[in-house]
Amino acid sequence: MPKNIKKIGVLTSGGDSPGMNAAIRSVVRACAYHNIECAGIYRGFEGLIDGDFKLMDARSVKGIINKGGTILKTARSKEFRTKEGRQKAFNNLVKAEIEGLVVVGGDGSFTGAMVLNKEFDFPVVGIPGTIDNDIFGTTHTLGFDTALNTVVDAIDKIRDTASSHNRLFFIEVMGRDVGHIALNAGIAGGAEEILIPEEDLGLDRLVDSLNKSRKSGKTSSIVIVAEGDKIGKNIFELKDYVDENMEGYDVRVSVLGHMQRGGAPSCFDRVLASRMGVKAVESLLEGKSNYMVGLLGGKMELTHLDKAIKGKTKINLELLRVSDIMST
Amino acid sequence: MPKNIKKIGVLTSGGDSPGMNAAIRSVVRACAYHNIECAGIYRGFEGLIDGDFKLMDARSVKGIINKGGTILKTARSKEFRTKEGRQKAFNNLVKAEIEGLVVVGGDGSFTGAMVLNKEFDFPVVGIPGTIDNDIFGTTHTLGFDTALNTVVDAIDKIRDTASSHNRLFFIEVMGRDVGHIALNAGIAGGAEEILIPEEDLGLDRLVDSLNKSRKSGKTSSIVIVAEGDKIGKNIFELKDYVDENMEGYDVRVSVLGHMQRGGAPSCFDRVLASRMGVKAVESLLEGKSNYMVGLLGGKMELTHLDKAIKGKTKINLELLRVSDIMST
Amino acid sequence: MPKNIKKIGVLTSGGDSPGMNAAIRSVVRACAYHNIECAGIYRGFEGLIDGDFKLMDARSVKGIINKGGTILKTARSKEFRTKEGRQKAFNNLVKAEIEGLVVVGGDGSFTGAMVLNKEFDFPVVGIPGTIDNDIFGTTHTLGFDTALNTVVDAIDKIRDTASSHNRLFFIEVMGRDVGHIALNAGIAGGAEEILIPEEDLGLDRLVDSLNKSRKSGKTSSIVIVAEGDKIGKNIFELKDYVDENMEGYDVRVSVLGHMQRGGAPSCFDRVLASRMGVKAVESLLEGKSNYMVGLLGGKMELTHLDKAIKGKTKINLELLRVSDIMST
Amino acid sequence: MPKNIKKIGVLTSGGDSPGMNAAIRSVVRACAYHNIECAGIYRGFEGLIDGDFKLMDARSVKGIINKGGTILKTARSKEFRTKEGRQKAFNNLVKAEIEGLVVVGGDGSFTGAMVLNKEFDFPVVGIPGTIDNDIFGTTHTLGFDTALNTVVDAIDKIRDTASSHNRLFFIEVMGRDVGHIALNAGIAGGAEEILIPEEDLGLDRLVDSLNKSRKSGKTSSIVIVAEGDKIGKNIFELKDYVDENMEGYDVRVSVLGHMQRGGAPSCFDRVLASRMGVKAVESLLEGKSNYMVGLLGGKMELTHLDKAIKGKTKINLELLRVSDIMST
Buried b (16+ CB within 10 A) or exposed e, A219-250: bbbbbbbbbbbebeeebeebbebbeeebeebe
Alpha helices in chain D (DSSP H): 20-33, 44-50, 83-95, 107-120, 144-165, 180-188, 203-215, 235-245, 267-285, 305-310, 317-326
Give the H or E element holding residue A154.
helix A144-165
Residues flagged as binding site of B for ADP: 25-29, 159, 190-192, 218-220
**Contact yes or no for A161 and D69 at CB 8 A:** yes
Which of C244, C261, C278 is the C-terminal boundary of a domain? C261
Q: Is A87 labelled a binding residue? A: no
Residue C121 above 60 pLDDT? yes
Cβ neighbours, 10 Å, residue D324: 15
State how far the Cα of C252 lies from the Cα of C266, in Å rounded to an integer: 30
Are residues C73 and C155 both part of a single domain?
no
Long-range CB contacts for residues D185-188, cutoff 8 Å, separation at least 24:
D185/C267, D185/D148, D185/D151, D185/D152, D185/D155, D185/D224, D186/D224, D186/D323, D187/C270, D187/C271, D187/C274, D187/D319, D187/D322, D187/D323, D187/D326, D188/C65, D188/C267, D188/C270, D188/C271, D188/C274, D188/D148, D188/D152, D188/D155
Check whether residue B131 and residue B269 sit in a common domain.
Answer: yes
Query: Does pLDDT of B81 surpass 50?
Result: yes
User: Which chain C residues touch B158 with a CB distance below 8 Å?
Assistant: 257-259, 262
What pLDDT does residue C247 have? 79
Q: Which amino acid is at A271?
A: V
CA distance A42 to chain D (A): 10
List, in sequence order, the alpha helices (H) in chain C: 20-33, 44-50, 83-95, 107-120, 144-165, 180-188, 203-215, 235-245, 267-285, 305-310, 317-326
At residue D46's C-alpha, the angle toward residues D44 and D50, to 5°, is 120
Determine the average pLDDT of the residues in D22-42.
Answer: 98
Contact call for residues D138 and D303 (beta carbons, < 8 A):
yes
Residue C200: the pLDDT is 79
Are A125 and A11 members of one domain?
yes
Q: For residue B38, give every residue at least 6 positions away whose Cβ sits within 8 Å of its Cβ, in sequence order, or none.
A: B7, B8, B9, B10, B27, B28, B31, B32, B55, B56, B57
Taking a contact as any Cβ pair under 8 Å apart, which residues of chain D between 146 and 175 contact chain C?
148-149, 151-152, 156, 159, 163
Q: Is B78 on the interface with C (CB under 8 A)?
A: no
**Run of H or E residues at C12:** strand C7-12
Q: Residues C141, C147, C152, C155: is their CA dihedral positive or negative?
A: negative
Chain C residue nearest residue B76, CA to CA = C165
Verify whether residue A132 is a known catalytic residue.
yes
- Domain endpoint, select from C261, C287, C318: C261
What count of residues does chain C have? Answer: 328
What percentage of residues in chain B have a pLDDT greater than 70?
98
Beta bridge pairs of residue D124:
D101
Task: Give CA–CA dist D163/C42, Å, rounded.
Answer: 27
Same domain, D12 and D135: yes
pLDDT of D2 higher than 60: no
A29-33, B171-175, C311-315: which has the minimum mean pLDDT?
A: C311-315
C-alpha–C-alpha distance, residues A308 and A134, integer Å: 9
Exposure string of D45-69, with b = 16+ CB inside 10 Å and e = fewer, is: bbbbbbebbeebebebbebbbbbbb
Structural contact between residues B44 and B15, judged by C-beta atoms closer than 8 angstroms? no
| C16 & C107 share domain | yes
Tell me the three-class secondary structure of C113-162, residue by residue. Answer: HHHHHHHHCCCEEEEEECCCCCCCCCCCCECHHHHHHHHHHHHHHHHHHH
Within a domain: residue B317?
A: no
Average pLDDT, chain C: 94
- Structural domains in chain C (count): 2
Q: Is the pLDDT of residue D233 over 80?
A: no
Distances (CA, A) of A62 to A271, B31, B257: 16, 50, 27
Burial letters C202-231, b for 16+ CB under 10 A, else e: ebeebeebbeebbeeebbbbbbbbbbbbeb
Per-position b or e across A47-76, b if 16+ CB within 10 A of its CB: bbbbebbeebebebbebbbbbbbbbbbbbb
User: Could you tell me if D25 and D83 lie in one domain?
Assistant: yes
Evaluate if residue A1 carries a pLDDT over 60.
Answer: no
Reference A228, options A209, A256, A200, A188; nearest CA is A200
CA distance C156 to C150: 10
In degrees to the nearest 10, what's the CA dihedral of D7, D13, D19, D21? 50
Q: Classify residue C265 by its DSSP letter.
A: P
The HSE-up count of residue D49 (CA atoms within 13 Å, CB side) is 18
**Under an 8 A CB cutoff, do A218 and B328 touch?**
no
**Whether residue A124 sits in one domain with residue A61:** yes
Residue environment code for A80-117, b if the CB has 16+ CB neighbours within 10 A, otherwise e = beeeebbebbbebbeebebbbbbbbbbbbbbbbbbebb
**Closest residue of D to A70, CA-based?**
D164
Q: How far is B138 from chain C (nearest CA, A)?
A: 24
Rounded Cα distance between A29 and A19, Å, is: 15
Per DSSP, the residues of A287-318 read T--SEEEEEETTEEEEEEHHHHHHS-----HH
What pLDDT does residue B2 have? 56
Give a yes or no: residue A160 inside a domain: yes
Query: Which value does ipTM take for this structure?
Result: 0.97
Tell me the three state secondary structure of residue D139: coil
Q: What contacts D84, CB < 8 A, 6 or more positions away?
A: none
- Check CB contact under 8 Å for A267 and B148: yes
Instruction: Identify whether residues A80 and A219 lie together within a single domain.
Output: no
**Known binding-site positions of D for Mg(2+):** 107
- C271 falls within a domain: yes
CATH at residue C122:
3.40.50.450
Phi, psi values for residue C290, rounded to 5°: 70, 25
Mean pLDDT of D1-10: 83
Task: Give the model's confidence band at A132: pLDDT under 50 very low, under 70 low, under 90 confident, else very high.
Answer: very high
Q: Give the best residue of B149, B164, B169 to mutate against chain C (max C CB count within 10 A).
A: B164
Rounded to a whole number of angstroms, the distance from the CA of A58 to the nearest CA of chain D is 22
Phi, psi of A127 (to 5 degrees): -120, 125
Judging contacts by C-beta atoms under 8 Å, the chain A residues touching residue D70 are 164
Whether residue A291 has pLDDT greater than 50: yes
Q: What angle do CA A12, A16, A18 make, to 5 degrees?
A: 105
Query: Which is higher by pLDDT, A203 or A112?
Result: A112
* Residue B213 pLDDT: 84
Q: Is there a contact between C325 and D278 (Cβ–Cβ < 8 Å)?
A: yes
| D230 has a pLDDT exceeding 80 | no
- Report pLDDT digits (tens) over D46-74: 999 999 999 999 999 999 999 999 999 99
Chain D closest CA to C28's CA: distance in Å?
9
A239 lies within 8 A of chain D by CB? no
The backbone torsions φ and ψ at residue B183, rounded to the nearest 5 degrees and listed phi first, read -70, -50
Q: Which amino acid is at D200?
A: D
Please write the tens of the pLDDT for every residue from D84-118.
999 999 999 999 999 999 999 999 999 999 999 99
Yes or no, beta carbons of C166 and B73 under 8 Å apart: yes
With H, G, I as helix, E, B as strand and everything else as coil, classify residue A37.
Answer: strand
Q: Is residue B320 part of a domain?
A: no
Q: Which domain holds residue C78?
A: 7-143+265-310
> Do residues D117 and D151 share a domain?
no
Determine whether the interchain pair B156/A264 forms a contact, defined as Cβ–Cβ distance below 8 Å: yes
Q: D113 Cβ partners below 8 Å, 6+ apart?
A: D101, D103, D124, D126, D305
Q: Is B216 on the interface with A (CB under 8 A)?
A: yes
Name which of D165, D142, D162, D74 is nearest D112 in CA terms: D74
pLDDT at D212: 86
Q: Do residues B16 and B134 share a domain?
A: yes
CATH number of B211's domain: 3.40.50.460
Distance CA B262, CA A31 (A): 38
CA–CA gap between residue B137 and residue B313 (Å, rounded): 8
Q: Which of A52-56, B293-297, C76-80, C215-219 has the lowest mean pLDDT?
A: C215-219
Q: Quick one: pLDDT at residue B312?
A: 81
Which backbone phi and psi does A80 adopt, to 5 degrees? -70, -15
- Asked if residue B296 is part of any domain, the answer here is yes
Average pLDDT score over residue span B158-186: 95
pLDDT of B314 higher than 70: yes
**Could you give the residue numbers annotated as active site of C?**
132
Q: Which of B261, B276, B298 is the last residue of a domain?
A: B261
> Does any domain span residue D317?
no
Instruction: Specify whether D160 is located in the same domain as D109.
Output: no
Q: How far apart are CA A276 and CA A286, in angstroms?
A: 15
C-beta of residue A142 within 8 angstroms of C-beta of residue A20: yes
pLDDT in tens, C27-45: 999 999 999 999 999 999 9
Q: Which residues of C238-253 are buried (b: 16+ CB within 10 A; e: fewer)?
A: bbebbeeeeeebebbb
Residue D213 touches chain A, beta carbons under 8 Å: no
Please check whether residue B268 is in contact with residue A148, taking contact to mean a CB–CB distance below 8 angstroms: yes
Residue C1 has pLDDT above 50, yes or no: no
Say if residue A205 carries a ligand binding annotation.
no
Residue D203 has pLDDT above 80, yes or no: yes
Pick from D21, D311, D19, D23: nearest CA to D145: D19
Check if A216 contacts B (Cβ < 8 Å). Answer: yes
Q: Residues with Cβ < 8 Å from A319, sequence gap 6 or more?
A: A183, A184, A187, B271, B275
Tell if the CB–CB gap between D145 and C188 is shorter than 8 Å.
no
Surface of C (177-206) touching D: CB under 8 A: 184-185, 187-190
CA atoms within 13 A of residue D83's CA, in its CB half-sphere = 1
Closest of A111, A168, A17, A74 to residue A308, by C-alpha? A111
**Chains in contact with C via at least 3 Cβ–Cβ pairs below 8 Å:** B, D
Would the CB atoms of B16 and C160 count as touching at under 8 Å? yes
| Interface A:D, Cβ pairs < 8 A | 113
D1 confidence band (pLDDT: 50, 70, 90) = very low
Residue A185 contacts residue A172 (beta carbons within 8 Å) = no
Q: Is the pLDDT of residue C3 over 90?
A: no
Examine residue C319 and state whether it is found in any structural domain, yes or no: no
Neighbouring CB atoms inside 10 A of B121's CB total 9
Q: How far apart are CA C237 and CA C246, in angstroms?
A: 14
Per-residue model confidence (pLDDT) at position A247: 79
pLDDT above 90 (res C230): no
**How many CA atoms, within 13 angstroms, populate the side-chain half-sphere of residue C32?**
19
D163 and D74 in a common domain: no
Between chains, do A149 and B149 touch, taking CB under 8 Å as contact?
A: yes
Q: Which chains touch D (3 or more CB pairs under 8 A)?
A: A, C
Contact at CB, A164 and D12, closer than 8 angstroms: yes
Number of Cβ atoms within 10 Å of the Cβ of B237: 12
Contact B325 A152 (CB under 8 A): no
Residue A315 domain flag: no
Distance from CA of B102 to the nearest CA of A (A): 17
